[in-house]
Chain A
Amino acid sequence: MDVRDDVVDILAGFALFADLSTPQLESLVETFGEETYVEGDRVLRQGLTGSSFYVILDGSASIRVDGVDRASLRAGDYFGEISCLLGVPPTADIVARGTLRCLVLPAQELESFLVGHPQVMYRLLQGEARKVRTTTRWLS
């Protein structure tokens, strides 16, 4: 058992996991790995296969496309889900801005996790819908 109480407390405050009970959050913490990056580290690499799904626990990161920063991510945000769901390489680098602490789930485990936690799947779907709406606004 690898229950890290501080991580459970952090996750309890994230919208993505708002519907989970404490034992479910403890199980999630055991299922996901934890990784820490420092300034400038690449978490996702544009164009390279084999990436994972990440949830930012602490810190911030840049979304960088072809070397240009396009947006930023912060605690509670997640990334890598499109690459995992579609089985394609990421279309952007995700680069740590200072110390960045993430939970990580390999792509091959994302489906079973989401199917096993439909509330998280619904929240994630809401997040994707917001991204589509934002993109549509940009294009219109």
Chain B
Amino acid sequence: MTDRPFPPARYSLLVVGSGPGALQLTYSLRRLGVEHAVISQDSEPGGMFRRWPIFQRMLSWTKPYANHERGSTAYERYDWNSLLGDDDASRAIMPRIMDGTSYFPSRPEMQRGLEAFATGTGLQIRYECRWESTRKDGDDFVLTTSDGEYRAPCVVFAVGIAEPWKPSVLDIEGVQQYGQLRPAEQYADKRVFIVGKQNSGFEIASGLLPWARQIVLASPSSAKLSVDTRTLVGVRARYVQPYEDWALAGGVVILDASIERVEPSGAGYAVHTKSPADGRQLMFDVDDVIAATGFVSPLQDLPQVGVATFGQSRIPTQTPFWESATVRGIYFAGTIMQGSQGMRKHGIPSNSGAVQGYRYNARVLARHLAEERFGHKPEQRRLRSEEVVPLLLSEASRGPELWHQRSYLARVIGVGSDGGITDEGIKPLAHFVDGGGEHDGVAITLEANGKDDPYPAVYVRAGGRLVEHLMGSHPLLDFEGPEYQSELSGVLSGVLGRAPATRSAQ
């Protein structure tokens, strides 16, 4: 135990967690040379993927073969599960690990991929160090842990949203939650009532299809399907089989109803439901009741420190750079980053709740922390004016940050008062739009509206005024053709017009 890193002490930055969000953040911080400590209650890396999904296969895909070379930046669009390394050995790890039977990695494959990233990049984490409580002491936060006290003026919590939650109506003995299920074969010939029609409910129903005698899926509102919403909102295609079983009257029941009460009945339960549409009441005699009613974040006493949360999942309210909106110095990484909601254009949330989204957030956060808290000079490559349009259109066509985090992350170009043009890299779009800023600039992102193909969206700030310009989509999602070049050149003519025609790149 003596060689465990990061003993209790004061650090300038402390990261809590060892799931993919924490792994990506600590890797990115190290690459930037930011000294920090990492602690985790787990014994090895991987976070929730060491246990879940319960039916042992991921919901996010990795396409081993795509139209871009494996390991290239553009390939990341097709590989939702690998973390982002800077060298060949640490890039596109997942397709090398997967056995080819599915383009959804198995849970053990995902675990091995995360372990390979952590080991291969030499990440330092103090495992089996449990965060127990938090208090403020001057400028520092003090975290009491199973190993002793840690102090830091800045703490990043990457502790997931994986604590099952159930409403009070289901708070009776024997009602199972995600993670408490028996082996699937033990549901053979059972009548199973699943409360909740989101992915976790449909995952359970899919897993029990070969075993249960009858499956009822119920919640007050209708199930949404991702193939209809064209976003990650809704039940993913992998879990739609129970829906088809219901649609073809195969025995599954999918019910829009509120749960009025659940009572023990013999060896099982009586579940009473009521339709929101017509008030019709039904009663189901079942052997098992399973609550697939969501998850909360294990924030422990952070609300007492002042961290505001929202929604049933108790997700912290955050700034565009994932800092608590109410307690400065507390940041979040991993799936909790979905609390920084961004623009939510057309009501579509970011993909910050999933690895393919928050891995990019982590990189942006690392850079933000380096610049804001450790005095690193922003990396801002100077551009010639004629480089801007090709760069932005290339980003819209192939930039993985824009593809995975639509209307959320953007490639930003700054135009200084001297007309100098700088590439400011990837930033939260909400920061560009709402953060104002003294100088002119351009942000490009990819946008989706829930019904059409994605299209580039350009935001131009000139003279303190922000204008949105939406470009048309393309059947092959290629936005680099002459018509796009011409259109974007016209859109940017005002803001780039004052820039010197040539400026040497640095």
Contact = CB atoms under 8 A, between A and B. Distances in A.
Given A1-B219, A5-B168, A23 B257 contact: yes
A104 B198 CA distance: 18
Nearest to B310: A36
Nearest to A35: B341
Query: Quick one: which of B220, B294, B345 has the most chain A CB within 10 A?
Result: B220
Interface stretch (A9-17, A70-78, A106-114, A128-136): A106-114
A24 interface: yes
B446 interface: no
Contact of B346 (A3, A37, A108): A108
Given A34-B310, A34-B311, A106-B450, A50 B279 contact: no
Given A26-B220, A35-B310, A107-B347, A47 B293 contact: no
A21 B274 CA distance: 11
Q: Describe B's contact surface by its main secondary structure.
A: loop
A34 B347 CA distance: 11
B326 interface: yes
A51 B256 CA distance: 28
Contact of A104 (B219, B275, B347, B433): B347
Contact of A47 (B168, B259, B275, B468): B468
A126 interface: no
B279 A23 contact: yes
B375 interface: no
B312 interface: yes
Interface residues of B, number: 47
A52 interface: yes
A64 interface: no
Interface residues of A, number: 39
Interface in A1-46: 1-5, 21-24, 26-31, 33-38, 41-42, 45
B317 A30 contact: no
A108 B450 contact: yes
A104 B346 CA distance: 11
Contact of A23 (B276, B294, B345): B276
Query: Quick one: which of A1, A22, A101, A108 has the most chain B CB within 10 A?
Result: A1
Query: Quick one: which of A3, A21, A109 has the most chain B CB within 10 A?
Result: A3
Interface string B202-232: 0000000000000000111100000000000
B196 interface: yes
B346 A23 contact: no
B271 to A, nearest CB: 13
Contacts of A99: 308
Contact of A50 (B274, B325, B407): B407
B221 A31 contact: yes
Contacts of A22: 258
Contacts of A109: 347
Interface of A: 1-5, 21-24, 26-31, 33-38, 41-42, 45, 47-52, 89, 99, 101, 104-109
Interface of B: 167-168, 195-198, 218-221, 256-259, 274-276, 279, 293-294, 308-312, 317, 325-326, 341, 343-349, 407, 433-434, 447, 449-451, 466-468, 470
Given A21-B276, A36-B308, A50-B346, 10 more contacts: A23-B274, A24-B276, A26-B220, A27-B221, A37-B317, A51-B345, A106-B346, A107-B347, A108-B449, A109-B347
11 contacts: A1-B167, A1-B220, A3-B220, A23-B275, A26-B258, A27-B221, A28-B221, A29-B220, A47-B466, A51-B345, A108-B450
